[in-house]
Amino acid sequence: MSDGGAAAIDPGTAQQADGGGHGKSGLTALALGAVGVVYGDIGTSPLYSMKEIFVGHHPLAVDPLHIYGVLSLIFWSLVVIVTLKYVLLILRADNKGEGGSLALLALIQRRTGGGRWTGGLVMLGVLATALFFGDCMITPAISVLSAIEGLAVVEPNFTPFVLPISVGILIGLFMLQARGTALIGRFFGPVMLIYFLAIGILGVISIVANPEVLFALNPVWAVRFFAHDHVLAFLALGSVVLAVTGAEALYADMGHFGRRPISAAWLCLVFPMLMLNYLGQGALLLRQPGAAENPFFLMAPDEWRLPLVILATLATVIASQAVITGAFSVVQQAVQLGLMPRVRIEHTSASAAGQIYVPSANWALMVMVMLLVLMFGQSSNLAAAYGIAVTGTMFISTCMIGVLIVRVWNWPLPLAGLLTAIFLLVDGVYFASNLTKVPDGGWFPLLVGIFAFTMLTTWARGRQLMIARMREAAMPVKVFVKSAANSATRVPGTAVFMTSSADGVPHALLHNLKHNKVLHERVLLLTVKIEDVPYVDMTKRTSSMEDLGQGFYRLILRYGFMEDPDVPAALNLTKQCGPDFRMMDTSFFLSRQTLLASERPGMALWREKLFSWMLRNAESAMEFFRLPTNRVVELGSQVEI
Query: What's the CA dihedral at 132, 133, 134, 140 to 10 degrees?
Result: 100
Rounded Cα distance between 585 and 589, Å, is 13
- Residues in the chain where the model's pLDDT stays below 70: 1-25, 113-118, 181-185, 349-354, 473, 485, 596-601, 637-641
Rounded Cα distance between 447 and 37, Å, is 28
Rounded Cα distance between 138 and 432, Å, is 19
Cα angle 54, 57, 61 (rounded to 5 degrees) comes to 30
Kindly give the interhelix angle for 359-376 and 162-175, rounded to the nearest 10 degrees: 180
Indicate if the alpha-carbon torsion angle 113, 116, 117, 118 is positive or negative: positive
Cα angle 295, 155, 39 (rounded to 5 degrees) comes to 45
Residue 186: CA count within 13 A, CB half-sphere: 3
- 10 Å CB burial of residue 234 (0-12, 13-18, 19+) is middle
Look at residue 38 and give its three-state secondary structure: coil
Contact indicator for 279, 216 with CB cutoff of 8 Å: yes
The DSSP bridge partners found for residue 265 are none
Q: Where in the chain is the domain with CATH 1.20.1740.10?
A: 11-336+360-437
In DSSP notation, 556-581 reads EEEE-TTS---HHHHHTT--SSSSPP
Look at residue 372 and give its three-state secondary structure: helix
Backbone angles phi, psi at 410, to 5 degrees: 55, 45
Any residues with CB less than 8 A from the CB of 229 and at least 6 apart, and which? none
Look at residue 266 and give its three-state secondary structure: helix
**Cα-to-chain-centroid distance, residue 88:** 21
Cα angle 127, 128, 134 (rounded to 5 degrees) comes to 95
Rounded Cα distance between 605 and 180, Å, is 41
Query: So what's the pLDDT on residue 17?
Result: 39
Q: Which of 522, 525, 494, 532 is nearest to 507 (CA)?
A: 525
Residue 319: CA count within 13 A, CB half-sphere: 33
The residue type at 402: G
Any residues with CB less than 8 A from the CB of 114 and at least 6 apart, and which? none
**Cα-to-chain-centroid distance, residue 362:** 14
Contact indicator for 446, 388 with CB cutoff of 8 Å: yes
Indicate if the alpha-carbon torsion angle 607, 613, 617, 621 is positive or negative: positive
What are the b/e assignments for 554-563, b being 16+ CB within 10 Å? bbbbbbbbbb
The DSSP bridge partners found for residue 168 are none
Query: So what's the pLDDT on residue 77?
Result: 94
Question: What is the 3-class SS of 144-206, one letter each residue?
Answer: HHHHHCHHHHHCHHHHHHHHHHHHHHHHHHHHHHHHCCHHHHCCHHHHHHHHHHHHHHHHHHH
Rounded Cα distance between 486 and 484, Å, is 6
Model pTM score: 0.82
Contact indicator for 325, 446 with CB cutoff of 8 Å: no
Q: Are strands 489-498 and 518-530 parallel, antiparallel or unpaired?
A: parallel
Query: So what's the pLDDT on residue 20?
Result: 40
Start-to-end Cα distance in the chain: 38
Rounded Cα distance between 221 and 212, Å, is 13
Backbone angles phi, psi at 16, to 5 degrees: -120, 140
Contact indicator for 217, 75 with CB cutoff of 8 Å: yes
Cα angle 263, 266, 267 (rounded to 5 degrees) comes to 85
Q: Which of 306, 338, 335 is nearest to 158 (CA)?
A: 306
The residue type at 378: Q
- 10 Å CB burial of residue 436 (0-12, 13-18, 19+) is middle
Rounded Cα distance between 9 and 21, Å, is 16
Look at residue 300 and give its three-state secondary structure: coil
Whole-Å CA distances, 77 to 73, 82, 212, 246, 499: 6, 7, 21, 13, 50
The DSSP bridge partners found for residue 524 are 496, 553
Rounded Cα distance between 638 and 641, Å, is 10
Whole-Å CA distances, 561 to 102, 117, 327: 9, 22, 15
Contact indicator for 99, 251 with CB cutoff of 8 Å: yes
11-336+360-437 fold: Amino acid/polyamine transporter I (1.20.1740)
Rounded Cα distance between 210 and 68, Å, is 12
Rounded Cα distance between 549 and 563, Å, is 32
Rounded Cα distance between 442 and 395, Å, is 17
DSSP label of 488: S
